């Protein structure tokens, strides 16, 4: 019964502790040995690697990771799962459990503790509602991370991987693709989880760039332009930018867009990362940032 990757075992472990999965924390536990094996293979773990897992759940992925690397640091927000995790991980002494909210921890300190003097892997099954803040924290500390493998809702995966012009392309797409090479790997059926969620999921891989995917002179201005462009998605780009960069006047923004070679009538979702970078640099030169 200690293997939580078997659905009947997962349910029995929860019943034993008088627990039910909590929606507030997006608790849908992955119980699919094939999916677990594919996730671990995607991480390409070596025996001396160190891995950070966000959301240990019942320990199914934690166990799989611990079989292939030297140390797994697993963060779990729900303290009521501690008895289950101690049971399912009793034969894995190379797992270090932290019962806390990942978003409240100091990310650089956590990564330093998890990886010590080398870059490490991050592997996680994360709920939709915290995907963006988790990615922001991880990619802001990408110098410590060699690879990120995430199981997310399929809708989120499409957004992260979407190219310019795609209906799913947005500020999250630009942020992720600037910081890392984002690759969709494979879908995971909703029936692979306990309890069964309403949507399917997908595993994605992010390989962080040392700097960025493109040359950006000022990242603050760059991401401010991106947020402005997508903040009013249905508006023409010029009108969307005026709400945030209009203190110097419409004519200044028109000049910046002309200098960047971007038609004022275009919409933000049509711009590539390179075009966003060029536009941000031209706006910065005007002093409107």
pLDDT in tens, 238-278: 989 988 887 667 888 999 999 999 998 899 999 999 999 99
199 and 223 belong to one structural domain: no
Say whether pTM exceeds 0.85: yes
Q: What single string gives the DSSP state of each residue in 141-178?
A: TGGGEEEEEEEEEHHHHHHHHPPTTSTT-SHHHHHHHH
194 and 243 belong to one structural domain: no
Task: Answer whether residue 213 is part of any domain.
Answer: no
pLDDT in tens, 21-31: 998 888 999 99
Which residues lie across from 183 on neighbouring strands? 205
Q: What is the predicted pLDDT for the residue at 92?
A: 96
Q: What is the CATH number of the domain that holds 68?
A: 3.40.50.150
144 and 40 belong to one structural domain: yes
Q: Is-contact 179 208, C-beta < 8 A? A: yes
141 and 239 belong to one structural domain: no
Which one has a higher pLDDT value, 170 or 232?
Answer: 170
Q: Is the confidence at residue 169, as pLDDT, over 70?
A: yes
pLDDT in tens, 87-129: 999 999 999 999 999 999 999 999 999 998 889 999 999 988 8
Range of the domain at 79: 7-208
Task: Answer whether residue 2 is part of any domain.
Answer: no
Give the C-alpha separation, 202 to 161, whole Å: 11
Number of domains within the chain: 2
Task: Answer whether residue 1 is part of any domain.
Answer: no
The domain boundary residue, chosen from 160, 189, 208: 208
The domain boundary residue, chosen from 208, 242, 277: 208
Q: What is the CATH number of the domain that holds 241?
A: 1.10.8.100
115 and 176 belong to one structural domain: yes
129 and 269 belong to one structural domain: no
Q: Which residue has the tokens 């939709």?
A: 128
Q: How far is CA 177 from CA 15, 77, 86, 218, 283, in A?
A: 42, 28, 38, 17, 22
79 and 177 belong to one structural domain: yes
One-letter-per-residue 3-state SS of 222-276: HHHHHHHHHHCCCCCHHHHHHHHHHHHCHHHHHHHHHHCCCCCCCCHHHCCHHHH
186 and 239 belong to one structural domain: no
Q: What is the predicted pLDDT for the residue at 60?
A: 97
Q: How far is CA 195 from CA 23, 55, 198, in A?
A: 10, 16, 10
pLDDT in tens, 197-223: 999 999 999 999 998 899 999 999 999
241 and 196 belong to one structural domain: no
The domain boundary residue, chosen from 149, 177, 208: 208
Q: Is the confidence at residue 139, as pLDDT, over 70?
A: yes
Task: Answer whether residue 240 is part of any domain.
Answer: yes
Q: Give the Cβ contact number of residue 209 at 10 Å.
A: 15
């Amino acid at each position: 019964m200690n293997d939580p990757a078997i659905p009947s075992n997962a349910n029995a472990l929860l019943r034993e502790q008088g627990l039910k999965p909590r929606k507030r924390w997006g608790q849908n536990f992955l119980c699919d040995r094939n999916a677990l094996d594919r996730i671990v293979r995607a991480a390409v773990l070596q025996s001396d690697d160190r891995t950070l897992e966000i959301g240990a759940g019942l320990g199914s992925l934690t166990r799989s990771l611990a079989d292939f690397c030297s140390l797994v640091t697993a963060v779990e927000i729900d303290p009521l799962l501690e008895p289950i995790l101690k049971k399912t991980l009793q034969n894995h002494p190379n797992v270090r459990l932290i019962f806390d909210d990942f978003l409240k921890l100091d990310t650089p300190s956590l990564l330093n503790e998890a990886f010590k003097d080398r870059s490490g892997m991050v592997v996680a099954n994360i709920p939709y509602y915290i995907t963006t803040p988790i990615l922001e924290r991880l990619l802001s500390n990408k110098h410590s991370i060699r690879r990120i493998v995430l199981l997310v809702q399929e809708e989120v995966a499409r957004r992260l991987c979407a190219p310019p012009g795609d209906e799913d392309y947005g500020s999250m797409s630009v942020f992720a693709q600037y910081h890392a090479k984002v690759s969709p790997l494979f879908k995971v059926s909703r029936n692979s989880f306990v309890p069964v969620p309403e949507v399917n999921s997908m595993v994605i891989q992010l390989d962080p760039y040392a700097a960025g995917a493109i040359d950006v002179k000022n990242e603050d201005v760059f991401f401010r332009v991106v947020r402005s462009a997508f903040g009013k998605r249905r508006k023409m780009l010029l009108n969307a930018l005026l709400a945030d960069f209009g203190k110097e006047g419409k004519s200044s923004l028109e000049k910046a867009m002309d200098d960047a070679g971007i038609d004022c009538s275009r919409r933000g979702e049509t711009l590539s990362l390179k075009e966003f970078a060029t536009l941000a640099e031209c706006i910065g030169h005007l002093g409107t940032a």
